[in-house]
Amino acid sequence: MTGVEVAGVGMHPFGRFPEKALKDLVRESTARALADAGIGIRDVQAVYASNGMAGLLQGQEQIRGQSALRDIGIERVPIVNIDNACAGGSSAFREAVLAIRAGAADTVLAVGFEKMFVADRDRSLAALETAADIELTGGLGLQFTAIYAMRLRKRIDAGLLRERDLVDVTVKNHYNGSLNPNAQHRKPVTPEQILESRPIADPLTLLMCSSFSDGAAAVVLRRAGTGTVEGRPRVRVAAAAAASGYTAGPEDDLPSTATTCATSAYEQAGLGPDAVDVVEVHDAMAPGELLYYEQLGLCEVGQAGDLLASGATAITGRIPVNPSGGLSARGHPVGATGLAQLCELVWQLRGEAGARQSNQPRVALAQNSGGWLSGEPAACNVHILERVDAWT
């Protein structure tokens, strides 16, 4: 099969940028990814553009990618707009991988962008609700936060998690975010601050939750051998797995969508969770990370709290999770998040993560989820990246 490598990554920092248009975020993140790949705009042969809410929030629907990219001179080449709610970024990445494997292009840009801070906060909240089936949940107030809260409460009541774990994972991720110049929330927080922050949906408090965010992230993918930047470690795509959620009754014993994806990704990459060195997961609420420890096979069911408490998932641990700070600290501009995860992992694999650098990782895994169908994500993607060159 055609090898695919990540040739360049770039982000516009996540945060609140009232002075910038959505196009500015796209331009800056793309310019950084192209420079990182050592290529120019004329080298880009295809684009997958991810966005979730520009139609509802900025009024630009239908050709979101083309209108943003034309500004920077990327035109003529195939541009496809991808929307998969919070998983759109990784869906764009996966389509780019498939396009290269299919022989349709050698050099492909995947770019994700979102501007959630608009004048009317209620419009952003309403737009977020469209990530679920509006016929079933529209107007119920059954947003992501509530769904995460119910899942966590159920696990706590079943003795599979402690309330303390929810706080500790939030402390870890905000600390990681404090080391990340691209993060929206860059201050460490204490357990007291977390518990004293506004209750959102029991057991979640404000500091456990991701917030509105503006931001963009871009990745350049190339067919292996198409070109490399001298002195830079190569990173290959070892697996690109996708699945959608399902409608299940409470008694159904189906694997979670993330598990379905991860199982497929491990098989594609020819390795298991033990071989993974660094991970980014979709913790739209920081404690969600604990659920993914189990779903990705990083620990047994009921052991997530212990894995966290052991320090294994800290940046200095055996298998760092969310060294970027994750969604709750880095920020979560919907269409950009999946690509920001992949940017972080590429920096980790290259040894370019600065104060967040984990210990010489070789295999990295990103898990990105989006939308809801009866409690399971409507879309989920798991990618595994692998450093090609040995650490020296």
- Name the residues that contact a second copy, by CB under 8 A: 1, 23, 46, 52-53, 55-56, 58-64, 66-67, 70, 75-85, 88, 91, 95, 97-99, 101-104, 127, 130-135, 138, 240, 242-247, 257, 260, 334, 370-371, 373, 378-379
Q: CA–CA separation, 22 vs 312, rounded Å? A: 38
293 with 307: CB under 8 angstroms?
A: yes
Q: CA–CA separation, 366 vs 295, rounded Å? A: 13
332 is catalytic: yes
Sign of CA dihedral 239, 362, 304, 324: negative
- Which of 135, 230 has the CB closer to a second copy? 135
- Which of 60, 193 has the CB closer to a second copy? 60
- Which of 37, 127 has the CB closer to a second copy? 127
| Minimum distance of a second copy from residue 110's CB (angstroms) | 13
Tokens encoding 235: 């990173």
Report the DSSP beta bridge partners of residue 389.
Answer: none
174 is catalytic: no
Phi, psi of 361 (to 5 degrees): -70, 150
Please name the residue that has the structure tokens 């159904």: 252
Q: CA–CA separation, 218 vs 48, rounded Å? A: 10
| Minimum distance of a second copy from residue 374's CB (angstroms) | 8
Q: CA–CA separation, 100 vs 257, rounded Å? A: 26
Tokens encoding 16: 């609140």
SS3 state at 93: helix
- Which of 79, 209 has the CB closer to a second copy? 79
- Which of 205, 256 has the CB closer to a second copy? 256
- Which of 193, 264 has the CB closer to a second copy? 264
Report the DSSP beta bridge partners of residue 381.
Answer: 242, 368
| Minimum distance of a second copy from residue 53's CB (angstroms) | 7
| Minimum distance of a second copy from residue 282's CB (angstroms) | 15
Task: Give the active site residue among 12, 185, 332, 383.
Answer: 332
| Minimum distance of a second copy from residue 220's CB (angstroms) | 18
Tokens encoding 289: 């990370």
Task: Give the active site residue among 86, 209, 299, 380.
Answer: 86
Find, among 108, 349, 380, 134, the residue nearest to 244 by Cα.
380
How many CB atoms sit inside 10 A of residue 279's CB? Answer: 28
Using a 10 angstrom Cβ sphere, with 0-12 exposed, 13-18 middle and 19 or more buried, the burial of residue 318 is middle
The alpha carbon of residue 126 and the mean position of all alpha carbons in its chain are separated, in whole angstroms, by 22
- Which of 190, 247 has the CB closer to a second copy? 247
How many CB atoms sit inside 10 A of residue 181's CB? Answer: 10
Tokens encoding 205: 């408090």
Q: CA–CA separation, 190 vs 388, rounded Å? A: 39
| Minimum distance of a second copy from residue 84's CB (angstroms) | 6
| Minimum distance of a second copy from residue 376's CB (angstroms) | 9
The residues carrying an active-site annotation are: 86, 332
